[in-house]
Chains A and B, each alone.
Chain A
Amino acid sequence: MDMEVESYLRPPEIEKPPYPAKVVTLATGGKMVVRQVDRDAVPTLLRAIKPTVEIARDYYDVVGARLYAELIGWYRYRVRDEFCLVGQIDGLLVGIVNSRSYSPHTDISLHTLAIERGLRIGAHLFASKMEYSIEYLGRDEVLITAESPIGFRRWMIEYGLEKREGQHELGGATPYALTREMYFKNKARLVAGERPVPKEIMEIAEREIKIASERDIREKILGAAREIQ
C-alpha cells in the first residue's frame, strides 16, 4: 500500500469518548447487551448483514445494502468519524446501528438494522445511538431520515422529530432532527438500559459476536416457515 497516497484518502478522525455498555431487559425477559464495537468487528458484522440485502420486506434490502457499504467504508478508512453499536443476546448479534459525526455539534444517524423482530430491538438500539451522540459525545442534535414506514413511525412519530431544510446525507425523504431538548424530553419513555453490565453477561458478549445462520436470519426477519395442519 502506498501510504503517501493513502494518507490523502484516509479521513481525519475526531477523538471520541467511548460508549459505556449497558444491558436492556426485553419483553421476553431476555437481556440484550448494547455495546460499541471497533473496526475489527466489521468482517463479523458483514456476515449478518449479507442475507438482508436480498430481503425486500420492510426495505431490509435498502438498509442492509447501505449499512454493508458504510461499514466496509469505515473498516477501510473511507468514512469519517463513524461509530457502530451492536445488540447481543447471549452473545448472538440481534441488531446493529451506526452513525457518524458531521461536526462537534451535529451527528448524522445512518442505519438501524434489527435481526430479531417484534421486541423493539431496533427501537432500543436507535435510542442507544441517540444517547451516545447527545449524552456522551455532547452533540446538540442528530440528523435523521427514514427509509421504511416502520422507521418513520419509530423515529419521526415516536420522538416527535423536527423537520429540517436541505438534505440528509443518505438523500431520500425530508431530513428530521432530534435536538438535545427533545432527547431529554423523551428519554424516560424511550431510552432503556442499565449500567454497569453484570460481569458474566458482559464476558459472554465480548467473548464472541455470534452470528445466526443465513437461513435463521431470513426466518427471523420474514417469519419462520409454518407447519400448518
Chain B
Amino acid sequence: MRPVVIAGVGMIPFERTEEGGLVEMLATAGLNALVDAGVDDRPVDAVYLGNMASGLFNHQEAVASALVDSLALMPAAAERVENGPASGGSAIKNGFLAVASGFSDIVLVVGGEKMREVIGPKATDIVATMTHPMAEYVYGVTLPAQAGMFARLYMTKYGITRHHLAQVAIKNQNNGLLNPYAHIQMKITEEGILTHPQAHINNPVVADPLYLYDCCPVSDGAAAVLLTTPEIAKALKKPQVIIAGVGQATDTHALQEREDPTDLKAVTLAAKKAFEMAGAQPKDIDVAELHDAFTILEIAESEHAGFFKKGEGAQALDAGVTQIGGKLPINPSGGLKARGHPVGATGVAQIVELVWQLRGTAGKRQVKEAQTGFSLNFGGFGNNVLAFVVRREA
C-alpha cells in the first residue's frame, strides 16, 4: 500500500444553523479543505461523503452527487458512506484505501449532518433507528437510554461516580472555549451541574445516571480532509501528516447479546489494529480525540483503546492526565461534548483536529510538540468502530 498524506483540512463551525442547506454546508467544508491543500487545478479523483441520515433529517438523498456538482469536481467519482455516527470515520477509511491502493491519487473526504432541521425528540428518534429494530427500538430504546444503562453498569463495576462524569464535561467544555469551531462555548462548574442542592434543575436527568451535561448537543456541521500521496503532498508544499494506522471492528447489534455489556470489544480491536498498522503503541500517542457522545464513553474508550487499565481512566482524569498540558490530552477540541456531534461529520472533524494539532496550528488549545495522534469514531453503541493513528513525518 502507498502511504497516504492528509494534505488539506477544512471545517465549518458546528452550531444550530439558520441559513443554508446540507449540501451548502458540506461544500463549504470541502472547499476549505481544497483551499488549505492548495490543489489548484489538479483533478480530484473521488469524493467520499460521510453522512448518516440525510433522507430522514433533510429529505434529501444522493447527496454525494449533489456535493460533487456543487464543488464543480465532475467527473470525480462520488459516493456516500453510511455507518451511523461512524460514517465520517468510514468515509476516511474508504478514501484512505482509494489512495493507498493506487486507485486514486487525490481524494476529498467530507463528513456532515444537518440535524437541527428537525425538533429534538425527532432527532433522537432518527438516531435511534440504528438500534436493533426488534430487540431494542421497538421497546423505545434510544442512544441516551443505552448509554445510561451502560454508564450504570460501568460505574458500578469500576467505582466511577458522577463527579468523574462531571469532570469530563467540565474539561471538554473548557476545551471548547478554546475552539472557535465548537458548538458549545460555555464554562460550567461542578457546583452548577452537580454539587449545588438545586443543580438538578440546571442539569436535569436524561437517562439515569446521565444528565443533560453528560450528553453531547445535537448540532449541524461539516468537516473535510484531502487525502493524497506523499509525492503530491510534497509538490503542494504541505506538511506530511500521514494516516499511519487504520482499524475497524464490529460487535453484536443488540447490546443484550454481548457477553459483558461493559466490554467495548470493537473499541479494543479497532484500536489494536490501528496501532499495529502504525507500528505504534498507546504510549506513543501525544493527543487523542475520542467519541464522547456521553461523558462515560470518554472514560470507557480511553481504557478500551489501551491508554489506561480498566478502571483507571477516571483516576487519570482526576489527576489531570487528560487535560491540555497533561501527559495525554484527550479531546482538546472539546470533543463531541462541546464541539458538537453532527453525526456524519464527527469522524472527519476528529481527524481535522488532529491534523491541526500535528501541524502546530491549533491555537490556544495546542498540545505542545504533538507528533502522533489517535482518534476513535464509535458507531452504533459500539457495534461498528473505527480507529486511526495519524503521524507527522519529518
Contacts and interface: CB of A to CB of B under 8 A. Distances in A.
B75 interface: no
B15 interface: yes
Interface stretch (B48-56, B60-68, B177-185, B253-261): B177-185
Per DSSP, are chain A's interface residues mostly helix, strand or loop, or mixed?
loop
A226 B189 contact: no
A215 interface: no
Given A25-B198, A229-B180, 4 more contacts: A27-B202, A192-B198, A229-B356, A229-B361
Interface in A50-64: 57
B18 A28 contact: no
A118 B187 CA distance: 11
A26 interface: yes
A29 B192 contact: yes
B213 A118 contact: no
Contact of B192 (A28, A57, A191): A28
B193 interface: yes
Contacts of B361: 229
B192 A26 contact: yes
A192 B201 contact: yes
Interface residues of A, number: 26
Contacts of A120: 201-202
- Name the prevailing secondary structure of the B interface residues: loop
Contact of B363 (A26, A28, A229): A229
Interface in B215-235: none
B225 to A, nearest CB: 15
Given A25-B191, A27-B192, A29-B189, A226 B198 contact: no
Contact of A223 (B15, B120, B192, B196): B15
B201 A228 contact: no
Contacts of B185: 223-224
B201 to A, nearest CB: 4
B204 interface: yes
B295 to A, nearest CB: 14
B186 A118 contact: yes
Interface string B99-118: 00000000000000000000
A25 to B, nearest CB: 5
Nearest to A152: B119
- Which 7 pairs show the lowest CB-CB distances between chains A and B? A29-B189, A226-B180, A27-B192, A27-B202, A192-B201, A29-B192, A192-B198
B202 A226 contact: no
B199 interface: yes
B165 to A, nearest CB: 14
Interface string A12-36: 0000000000001111111000000
